[in-house]
């Protein structure tokens, strides 16, 4: 009747699978009685216990039912056609490798990562924290890391934020989603155009509506914001991506005053403020009005994108709302990573690492701009961040520019690739992200 | 005129802050001319470079403008009233510590975590992977971990899922959100009542609507599902939380057939299937129809909740949609954690750990049930999972039961605490989660 694989450790499981398959395929009909345990065991040459275990499993899963003193009967199971699954479409791996140099990516070269410090800290966190590492982390993150970030911001950026208002998230993208949940997805979010596409993409994925507003030479068009129904305005005022524009304090003040009168918020995305390569970082908008500004930053650029850590500072009112909404949820960043980063910040390692990175990028930037000059490109050096806009007047269209670069093995994007809604932007403007390239690569650069 | 702190390394920054403050407070009016660099430097007794740097910073931030050959002038800055920030409400720490025993929590005792194996694996991942650990992880997770999970599921659970369809997320809660984004927040999600409150909470946070449907003695009320407009049905068929009900295959088949005819999906939350303490785990619903079931599981229960790792298996169609929606986003789980877990699964350490846990919980469960028996409570032992329902007929109300337990230092919840919509549930039924308690605690238990 049934087969049982004798070469398996789990004879009962083999028998159970066999019977289950027969039931599912309709070979044993609903209502049919199964053989008694003893007779089946005898006919198969297995122990009664094996049959008993198989029947118990079938019973637990609802394939059969037991009738007292009369045996086991097959349940009414809607037969499911078990179809061979067709494998998914082929892996959609991109052809990134065809390029020798990628000027579109934003992560630092792995060689610059303070690997030995990091492994040292990991070891000490393991021995210092021990089993505490297994504890559930409150929704807003580990207290030690929250404090370490607040201290760091005070030292490096002059931001005086209460540590409890610092919220740890699994990278900036995750925090965009949290902000939608916090402000409400019925709200309208103004975003910069051109801008970082992932911002509006993530807001939309989270169900919010976005209103792209043009970027002028002082940042987002403030008048357009004032005339809009936007509740929140997402800006990168210290170094707009991709235009590189710095928003003067007068425009920031207008954005804040509008938030005050309309009841909304300014979201300050400070994604690369650590990389002001000359002078101190520009003062934060958050510092001007902590009640109306949500401050956002990430460690993806300064450490590694694989680490997935970012943070937000929330105004009082929003922090209270955050605690109400999320207090039952756990923080998404593993405690282990949070403790290691806290040790990195508190030990001064992070700032030493940053200063090394800045010195490195100063050289890269200088070489790159000199090289671009050779190619007849005009650059506008704001001294900030890890990308530069290079205008190539010799190319009639962006496609021509990108194709020429591609032929030389270089991947670039143009300003027009970052528009978030139809907008006239100058052509021939390459957005060159130099965070991932080496000196040698610059020397061999040819367009 | 201005003060500059001579005791600071950053004299220029002190001067800059001073001037900025005067501008913001309206002490220096818009249009006013600043003193020349030389004269200010002389009057303050600092170098011209110091003043130059301060002016440059003010210029970069838009507080002043330079007029060629005539000097620096204050910009029109909307004065912002700088208010002293009132600190947030006092820390809302819970009073968990008042309880000696918490029977509501779901994490394993830290002492059972394979700490030495874990640290060993961390060290070997650090040395084996090196700088690869810094690489950006594709949206669906590290390939090695995806494959390790698929292999593990095949070995332990008989689930034959294509590794590429395994999606790594930062815990189950995070994946609930991803599922909403994938299926659409305009869809209706049927959830179990009583059920795990975080499921509907998280769906709602993500903008979806939930329809609580009563749980019968075969799981979610299938007829009610069939008569509803629900697009997705979120169930825990192997061991419903909190009732402990196991859904027989006939009901699972009905849910699948409905999904087939309505175009929707079944979401199988397999949160504690590793903890079937007798016999093999029940067969998964996913295995019955991989095209219509989203399979969900987490490592929070089996490893540690601080690790934030869960996974989903997506049907073909949804996997394609997932890649389209999220291919630009990075995975939220640090690569380091993913590699360590992959090593744990591939080396067999995870299964050894599970089997130790299961043996431990068998003892705990047996002692607990004996103890509950002493108290006159009736338990229904399904042999699955890490919680048990104990009915105390001697208490007239749930409040009375909880208060009596609280007086003995024990925190418990009742069935009625898990209802997600008004529903009559039996009173005096404690949901006892025993995953975090010790043998000694059980011995001292008094209600």
Q: What is the pLDDT of residues A302-352, one digit of tens each?
A: 888 778 899 999 999 999 999 999 988 889 999 999 999 999 999 999 999
Q: Is the peptide bond before B388 cis (omega within 30 degrees of 0)?
A: no
Nearest beta carbon to residue A60 from set B246, B336, B337: B246
C-alpha span between A302 and A112 (Å, rounded):
10
Phi-psi region of B3 (alpha: psi -120 to 50; beta: other; left: phi over 0): beta
Among the listed residues A212, A211, A206, A171, the one whose alpha carbon sits nearest the alpha carbon of residue A193: A212
**Half-sphere exposure of residue A115, counting CA atoms within 13 Å on the CB side?**
15
pLDDT of residue B93: 38
Closest chain B residue to A318 measured between Cα atoms? B88
Residues of A with Cβ-Cβ distance to B60 under 8 angstroms: 246, 279, 282
C-alpha span between B293 and B303 (Å, rounded):
25
Q: Is the peptide bond before A43 cis (omega within 30 degrees of 0)?
A: no
Q: Does B440 touch chain A (CB under 8 A)?
A: no
Give A353-359's long-range contacts (Cβ < 8 A, gap of 24+).
A353/A114, A353/A117, A353/A302, A353/A303, A354/A274, A354/A302, A356/A112, A357/A108, A357/A112, A357/A275, A357/A302, A358/A274, A358/A275, A358/A277
Q: What tokens appear for B266 in the block? A: 């079944």
- Per-residue pLDDT at A203 exceeds 70: yes
C-alpha span between A417 and A370 (Å, rounded):
25
CB contact under 8 A, B250 and A206: no
Q: Report how far apart the first and last C-alpha atoms of chain B are (Å, whole number).
A: 75
pLDDT of residue A300: 82
Would you say A233 and A225 are in contact if contact means Cβ atoms under 8 Å apart? yes
Residues of A with Cβ-Cβ distance to B119 under 8 angstroms: 126
Q: What tokens appear for A222 in the block? A: 């403030």
Nearest beta carbon to residue A113 from set B131, B307, B329: B131
pLDDT band at A93 (very low <50, low <70, confident <90, very high): very low
C-alpha span between A443 and B96 (Å, rounded):
62
Say what percent of chain A tops pLDDT 70.
92
Which residues, numbered 26 to 45 in chain A, qualify as contacts with chain B under a Cβ-Cβ cut-off of 8 Å? Answer: none
> How many Å lie between the alpha carbon of B132 and the closest alpha carbon of chain A?
8
pLDDT of residue B78: 64
- Per-residue pLDDT at A83 exceeds 70: no
Would you say A232 and A248 are in contact if contact means Cβ atoms under 8 Å apart? no
pLDDT of residue A274: 84
User: Which value does ipTM take for this structure?
Assistant: 0.76
pLDDT of residue B82: 44
C-alpha span between B60 and A283 (Å, rounded):
10
pLDDT of residue A84: 37
Select from B135, B248, B318 the residue whose CB has the most chain A CBs within 10 Å, as the one to mutate to test that interface.
B248
C-alpha span between A2 and A35 (Å, rounded):
11
3-state secondary structure of B98: helix
CB atoms < 10 A from the CB of A157, how many? 22
Residues of B with Cβ-Cβ distance to A197 under 8 angstroms: 328
Predicted confidence (pLDDT) per residue in A133-146, tens digit: 888 899 999 999 99
Predicted confidence (pLDDT) per residue in A27-72, tens digit: 888 888 999 989 898 888 888 888 888 888 888 888 888 888 889 9
Pairing outcome for strands B410-411 and B101-102: parallel
Of A72-86, A199-213, A235-249, B13-27, minimum mean pLDDT range: A72-86
pLDDT of residue A1: 62
Would you say A301 and A386 are in contact if contact means Cβ atoms under 8 Å apart? yes
Which residues, numbered 335 to 354 in chain B, qualify as contacts with chain A under a Cβ-Cβ cut-off of 8 Å? Answer: 335-337
Domain positions in chain B are 11-74, 91-112+352-443, 115-351
pLDDT of residue B84: 37
Integer-rounded Cα radius of gyration of chain A: 30
pLDDT of residue A90: 36
C-alpha span between B212 and B420 (Å, rounded):
6
Q: In chain B, which residues have pLDDT < 70?
A: 1, 3-9, 78-97, 278-281, 382
pLDDT of residue A347: 92
Non-local (6+) Cβ contacts of B220 within 8 A are B190, B192, B213, B214, B233, B235, B240, B247, B251, B255
Among the listed residues B87, B94, B88, B62, the one whose alpha carbon sits nearest the alpha carbon of residue B75: B62
DSSP-assigned states of every residue in A417-435:
GG-SSS----TTEEEEE-T
Length of chain B: 447
Q: Does A114 touch chain B (CB under 8 A)?
A: no
CB contact under 8 A, A78 and B197: no
Length of chain A: 447
pLDDT of residue A323: 92
Please, which residues bridge with residue A431 across strands? A389, A413
- CATH no. of A91-112+352-443: 3.90.1150.10
Of A283-287, A401-405, A431-435, B274-278, minimum mean pLDDT range: B274-278
pLDDT band at A9 (very low <50, low <70, confident <90, very high): low
Mean pLDDT of the region A287-300: 94
C-alpha span between A147 and A166 (Å, rounded):
8
Closest chain A residue to B112 measured between Cα atoms? A131
Domain A115-351 has CATH 3.40.50.10470: no
- Per-residue pLDDT at A163 exceeds 80: yes
pLDDT of residue A80: 54
Among the listed residues A116, A111, A196, the one whose alpha carbon sits nearest the alpha carbon of residue A437: A111
Q: Any idea which architecture B11-74 has in CATH?
A: Orthogonal Bundle (1.10)
3-state secondary structure of A365: helix
Residues of A with Cβ-Cβ distance to B181 under 8 angstroms: 205-206
> How many Å lie between the alpha carbon of A394 and the closest alpha carbon of chain B?
31
Would you say B62 and A249 are in contact if contact means Cβ atoms under 8 Å apart? yes
C-alpha span between B8 and A29 (Å, rounded):
88
Non-local (6+) Cβ contacts of A335 within 8 A are A129, A132, A133, A134, A135, A137, A142, B306
Would you say B241 and B271 are in contact if contact means Cβ atoms under 8 Å apart? yes
Would you say B109 and B307 are in contact if contact means Cβ atoms under 8 Å apart? no
Instruction: Output phi, psi for A314, to 5 deg.
Output: -105, 140
Among the listed residues A441, A384, A386, A392, the one whose alpha carbon sits nearest the alpha carbon of residue A414: A392
pLDDT of residue B8: 60
DSSP secondary structure code for residue B169 in this structure: E
Closest chain B residue to A157 measured between Cα atoms? B13
The average confidence (pLDDT) of chain A is: 87
- Per-residue pLDDT at A254 exceeds 60: yes
Closest chain B residue to A109 measured between Cα atoms? B134
Select from B8, B15, B62 the residue whose CB has the most chain A CBs within 10 Å, as the one to mutate to test that interface.
B62
Residue carrying structure tokens 């992880």: B137
Residue carrying structure tokens 């389209």: B324
Residue B92 burial by Cβ neighbours in a 10 Å radius (0-12, 13-18, 19+): exposed
pLDDT of residue B87: 39
Q: Model's pTM, two decimal places? A: 0.80
Q: What tokens appear for A277 in the block? A: 């390569």
């Amino acid at each position: 009747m049934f087969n049982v694989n004798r070469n398996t450790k789990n004879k009962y499981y083999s028998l159970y699978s066999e019977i289950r398959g027969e039931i599912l395929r309709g070979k044993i009909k609903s209502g049919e009685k199964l053989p008694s345990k003893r007779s089946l065991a005898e006919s198969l040459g297995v122990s009664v216990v094996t049959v008993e275990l198989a029947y118990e499993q079938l019973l637990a899963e609802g394939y059969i039912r037991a009738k007292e003193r009369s045996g086991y009967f097959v349940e009414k199971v809607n037969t499911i056609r078990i179809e061979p699954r067709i494998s998914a479409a082929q892996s959609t791996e991109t052809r990134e490798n065809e390029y020798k140099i990628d000027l579109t990516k934003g992560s630092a070269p792995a060689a610059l990562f303070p690997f030995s410090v990091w492994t040292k800290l990991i070891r000490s966190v393991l021995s210092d924290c021990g089993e505490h590492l297994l504890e559930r982390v409150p929704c807003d993150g580990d207290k030690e890391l929250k404090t370490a970030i607040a201290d760091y911001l005070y030292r490096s950026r002059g931001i005086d934020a209460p540590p409890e208002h610092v919220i740890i998230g699994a990278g900036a993208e995750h925090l965009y989603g949290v902000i939608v949940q916090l402000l409400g997805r019925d709200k309208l979010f103004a975003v910069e155009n051109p801008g970082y596409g992932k911002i509006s993409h993530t807001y939309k994925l989270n169900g919010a509506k976005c209103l792209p507003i043009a970027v002028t030479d002082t940042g987002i068009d403030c008048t357009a914001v004032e005339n809009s129904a936007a509740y929140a305005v997402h800006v990168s005022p210290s170094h707009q991506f991709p235009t590189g524009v710095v928003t003067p304090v007068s425009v920031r003040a207008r954005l804040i005053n509008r938030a005050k009168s309309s009841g909304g918020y300014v979201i300050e995305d400070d994604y690369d403020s650590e990389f002001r390569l000359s002078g101190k970082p520009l003062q934060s908008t958050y510092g001007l009005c902590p009640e109306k500004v949500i401050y956002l930053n990430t460690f993806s650029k300064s450490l590694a994108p694989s680490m997935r850590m970012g943070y937000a500072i929330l105004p009082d009112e929003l922090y209270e709302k955050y605690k109400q909404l999320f207090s039952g949820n756990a923080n998404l960043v593993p405690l282990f990573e949070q403790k290691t980063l806290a040790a990195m910040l508190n030990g001064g390692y992070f700032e030493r690492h940053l200063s090394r990175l800045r010195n490195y990028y100063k050289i890269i930037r200088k070489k790159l701009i000199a090289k671009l000059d050779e190619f007849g490109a005009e650059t506008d050096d704001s001294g900030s961040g890890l990308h530069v806009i290079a205008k190539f007047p010799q190319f009639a269209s962006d496609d021509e520019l990108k194709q020429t670069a591609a032929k030389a093995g270089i991947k670039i994007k143009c300003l027009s690739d970052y528009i978030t809604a139809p907008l006239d932007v100058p052509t021939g403007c390459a957005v060159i992200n130099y965070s991932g390239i080496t000196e040698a690569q610059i020397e061999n650069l040819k367009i």
